[in-house]
Amino acid sequence: MIRTSRRMADGREILYYEVDGSAVSHDTPDTRDLPAVGTHSQLRWDALLGEWVVYAAHRQSRTFLPPADECPLCPTRPGRPPTEVPEADYQVVVFENRFPSLATAVDPDVPPTAPGAPYAEQRPGFGRCEVVVFTSDHDRAPAELGAERLRLLVDVWADRTATLAAIEGVEYVYPFENHGEEIGVTLGHPHGQVYAYPFLPSRVERVLASVERHREQTGGDLFADVVAAERGGPRVVAANEHWTAFVPAAARWPYELQLFPHRRVPDLPALTGEERTALAELFGDSLGRFAHRFDEPMNYIAAWNQAPVHRGREDWWLHLQLFSLRRAPGKLKYLAGSESGMGAFISDTSPEDVAEQLRNVVVP
């Protein structure tokens, strides 16, 4: 993989990634007249739930579902307004978000607590938010990218994870993709994001607590026990030499897969070349099953669960969550009173039935 770093008109970093032997100079300048990016994000501590909340009110003005001929993620080409990518073509591009929730240059002047709330500690919204553009083709869905492009994408995620984890103050690096308007996507071009948080997200904290509790109660390794059971169980959907995709026994979402490597690794940078290639193949297969389960492709979220930068790395087992809100043709699973109000999920589907349905999907 070859990486080329450049600067955008407002000083943000943009990186071009190509497979070896495909590098070009990427010297086209960004000629737009852009104002400097100003980020005023803040973190507030929820003392009752014991977790951080990010406030980024400046994101209200971000680009929202523009027409295809005004897409800011497409290449810059004659006859169209300049986009976020100055070049006329590219393979994979990563750049700092123009409307970031977290930023390294955030205003550090934050009162210690929220007004009238002494237990609501405040901190600057430090971190970094990047956009990862999967292809220059606006209409090419991720399920159609092919193994070679997905392999490059795995390398990009690994590179960004290693780079962002090295920033002082970053505690967790989270690559993810939102796909489909029903999920909340505001740009239709195939892309994902990478967030570098200055704290551990609540899901990670809960998993680490469960691993520790399991060890104290049984002397066992929770991740290893779960992976071993699922690999030999009825919910396996697909597998290869290095990875297995299965519907988790306690799946929360109508359609949900988890992809685990057969070898414990903490994060994407720790994968070998063979494991990355095998991941690209199984990830593509899984996306294809989601795309062809119904007559219309599923919306989904692809969420990488990596080890924290500092804590619990020896206990963690890298895995991917791939899940959809689609429960049936034309029907979505809404997070209503129980799920949104109490965090208690009520599922409309059976994990074993979903696994059988996904196994039976024929991927073209």
Q: How many CB atoms lie within 10 A of CB 104?
A: 16
Instruction: Provide the token pair at 349.
Output: 């589907």
Phi, psi at residue 83, to the nearest 5°? -115, -170
C-alpha torsion sign, points 87, 92, 95, 98: positive
- Beta pairing class for 191-197 and 113-114: unpaired
* Catalytic residue of the set 40, 179, 189, 191: 191
In the 8-state DSSP scheme, what is residue 338?
Answer: I
Give the residue among 309, 4, 340 at the shortest CA–CA distance from 174: 309
191 is catalytic: yes
Give the residue among 159, 137, 135 at the shortest CA–CA distance from 1: 159
Rounded CA-CA distance 357/92 in Å is: 33
Query: Are 325 and 332 contacting, i.e. CB atoms less than 8 angstroms apart?
Result: yes
Q: Decide: residue 5, CB within 10 A, 0-12 exposed, 13-18 middle, 19+ buried.
A: exposed
Query: HSE-up of 146 (CA within 13 Å, CB side)?
Result: 5
Instruction: Give the residue numbers marked as catalytic.
Output: 191
